Homo-oligomer: A and B are copies of this chain.
Amino acid sequence: MTEKRPFDVLNTALNNSVLIRLKGGLEVRGNMISYDIHMNLVLDGAEELQNGEVKRKLGTLLLRGDNIVFISPA
């Protein structure tokens, strides 16, 4: 696997499940259906996680990019 640029990971992950860690420690998982240059992104079927367990179902979610720590294609 070779990635040319970090954002290529976002493109590859489109319409697939991703795990997102946010500043402050919150983690959410969902299907990524869009993103922009600021790393703002939209998840579908999003769930808030706590220690890997589903804590709350959130549905569609617009996440601000500047609050993201990492994004991991699941």
Interface residues of A (CB under 8 A from B): 1-10, 19, 21-26, 28, 33-36, 39-42, 44, 46, 58-74
Return chain B residues, CB-CB under 8 Å to A62.
Answer: 6-7, 9-10, 70-72
Q: Does B61 contact A34, Cβ atoms closer than 8 Å?
A: no
Copies held by the complex? 7
Task: Give the CA-CA distance A69 to B26 in the complex, in Å.
Answer: 10
Chain B, residue nearest A39 (CB): B64
For the complex, give the distance between the alpha carbons of A2 and B44 in Å.
10
Q: Which residues of B contact A10 (CB under 8 A)?
A: 62
Given A9-B42, A36-B6, A44-B1: A69 in contact with B59 (beta carbons within 8 A): no
Contacts of A33 in B (CB 8 A): 1-3
